[in-house]
Chain A
C-alpha cells in the first residue's frame, strides 16, 4: 500500500493543475480525428522539460488517459473515432446519438471508461512493484534479450506484416547506433552534422508520430468534413450510473478484456475495444440489439479501451518494454529526466513513480467528470478543418523539436524521419517498432557489450547469451511472438492494424 503514502502529492496546486490541464486538453485533443493519443503525448513532451519529473509525467499520463476517452466524443457525435481505440464505440454510440440519446451514450461512455480505467490503474499499482523487484534478478544478457523482445514483439504484433514490422524495428535499432560509440568513442554512420551527436529521441518521436499525420491531412486535399455534430439532449446522470452498473456483464467483459490485452506488449486499444465488443455481443441475450444503439456495446468498448491504459504501462515501468506506442513515448519522457524504468524507478524515485501512478487514478475520475462537460466543445473542435490542424501540428513539431536543445539539427532530423516514415507507412512499414528500436537500441547495445565482456572473461558468447532459464524463456517468447504472428499472417487472421481494424468494424456492423 506504498502508493497511499504519495497520494497527497497529486493534490499539490501545481500537480493538480497539471492534471486538470492534461485531462481537459487530452479530452479535446482526443476528440479530434487525426490527432492520435501517441501524437498528442509526443507533442506535449517539450512542455515537460521545465517541469519536475513527476509533474511532467502527470501531464503526459493525464493526456494519455483522456485522449483515449475523448476519442469517444467524436465517435458518438460525429461517427468519426477520435483514435483507433474508439472504433468499436461508433457501432452503437453513434446510433444512440442519432436516436436522440447522445447525452446518455456520452455518459455511459465516460462512466464505463472511468470504471475500466480505475481497474486498469489498480492492476498497475499492485503488479508493478512485484515485477520491478523480480526484474532485479536480470543480468546483461537478460536485459539484452528483453530489449530485443520489446522490439520484436511490437514489430510482429503491431504491424500488418511481420517481416516489415521486424524490418522497421531493425531500422530503429540502426538509427540508435548513429553518433559516437560509448566505449571506443568511434564515429558511426555520421553522414551529416545534424546527427553528429546521435539521434535525439524526442525530436525523433515528434517527427515519427506527428509528421505522417500532417502529410496524411495534406493527402485529403481541400475536402470539407461533412460530418454533422448531433445535438445532445439532457439526460439524468443518476440513470446513467445505474445503467452502467446494471450492465455488469458488458462492464466486466470490457474491463477484464482491456486489462489483459493491455498487459500484452504490442496489442493496441483498438483491439481491446473490438474484442470486448465482440465477446459481449456473443454472450449477451440481447445480441440482436448490438449495432442498433445498444448501451452494452458502448459500455464494453469504452471500459475495455481505458482499462488497457494502466496495464500497458506495467511492462514499461518494470521491464522498460513499452506495451504500446504511447507508452514508448512516455518512456522517452522518463529518459529525458534521466530516469530509467524498473526497480531503479521504485527504489530511487518512489515519489515520481507513485505520484505519476496515483495521478492516473485520480485522472480517471476527473476525466469522467469533465468529459461530460467538455463533450460539446470537444465535438466542435473535432470539426476544425484539416488545413488548420495540419498547419498547427507542423508548427508545434518545429517549435517542440527545436526546444529540446535549441538545435536546428534536431528539427532537420524530426522532419526527415517524419517524411520518410509517412512514405514507409504507405508501403506497410510501421512507426511503433521503429520507435521501440530507437528507444531500446542503446539499452540492447550497452547490455550486449557488457554481456560479451563477461562472456569473454568467463565462458563463451553462446553459453552466456543462450543458456539459463530466464534467457531461454525470453528467447522462447521472442520466437513464439514471431511464430504466432507469422502463422496468423499466413492464415490471414491478423486484424491488428488500423486499416484491418476498420475492416473488422465493418464486418461487425
Chain B
C-alpha cells in the first residue's frame, strides 16, 4: 500500500472510531438508562470493530479500499462544492427550480467533455438545461404537486 492511501485510511478509520467512541460515551452516560439500552449494545460492538479497523489502518494492514487519488480529488472538488452549495443553501434561498437550473448548467459546463470554445456547445447545454427544468417542473409541480420553497425569480 502506498503512503497516501495509508494516511487516508488512518484518517477515515480514525474518524469512524471517534464517532463510535462518542456514540458509546453518550449511550453510557445519558439518562434515562432504559432509553439507551439498545444504543449501549450496538455502540459497544461499534467501538470494538471501529478500533480494530483503526488499528489495522495504523499498522498498514488494511486490505480493501483504494482511497482517493489526487486526480479523483481534483475532479470531484468543483462538482462536490457546487452540489453542496445547491443542497445546503441555494435550493432554499433561490427556490428549487431556479437553483436546480443554475446548478444543472454549471455542472454541465464543468464536466461536459464537449469543447468550451464553440457557441454550438453552449446552445446545446442551454437547451438540455431548459429540457431538464421542464421535466422536473412537469414531474414535481404538476404531476406530484410538491410545494417547494418560494422561487426568487418567479
Contact = CB atoms under 8 A, between A and B. Distances in A.
Interface of A: 46-47, 49-50, 160-161, 163-164, 166-167, 170-171, 173-174, 177, 181, 183-184, 186, 188-189, 214-215, 217-224, 385-388, 390-392, 394-395, 398-399, 402-403, 406, 408, 411-412, 414-415, 419, 423-429, 444-445, 448-449, 452, 497
Contacts of B128: 388
Contacts of B36: 186, 188
A388 B36 CA distance: 45
B76 A215 contact: yes
A166 B35 contact: no
Given A170-B45, A222-B111, A395-B132, A415 B87 contact: yes
Nearest to B141: A399
Contacts of B13: 427
A186 B9 CA distance: 36
B3 interface: no
A167 B76 contact: no
B149 to A, nearest CB: 8
B16 A167 contact: yes
Contact of B50 (A167, A184, A423, A427): A167
B62 to A, nearest CB: 7
B53 A164 contact: yes
Interface of B: 8-9, 12-13, 16, 19-20, 23, 26, 30-32, 34-39, 41-43, 45-46, 49-50, 52-53, 56, 62-68, 71-72, 74-76, 78-80, 83-84, 86-88, 91-92, 96, 100, 103-104, 107-108, 110-113, 128, 132, 136, 139-140, 144, 146-149
A204 to B, nearest CB: 15
A241 B80 CA distance: 48
A164 B75 CA distance: 27
Nearest to B105: A391
A428 B35 contact: no
Contacts, number: 188
A335 B88 CA distance: 28
Contacts of B41: 448
Given A184-B35, A219-B75, A399-B136, A391 B108 contact: yes
Given A174-B43, A177-B42, A399-B96, A449 B110 contact: no
Contacts of B12: 423-424, 426-427
B80 A188 contact: no
A387 B107 contact: yes
Of the candidates A184, A220, A388, A425, the one having the most CB atoms from chain B within 10 angstroms of its own CB is A388
Given A171-B46, A399-B146, A403-B140, A452 B80 contact: no
A425 B72 CA distance: 14
A426 B78 CA distance: 18
A429 B46 CA distance: 14
Contacts of B88: 412, 415
17 contacts: A47-B139, A47-B144, A161-B63, A164-B64, A177-B38, A184-B32, A188-B36, A218-B79, A385-B113, A387-B112, A388-B112, A392-B132, A399-B140, A402-B148, A415-B87, A415-B88, A424-B16
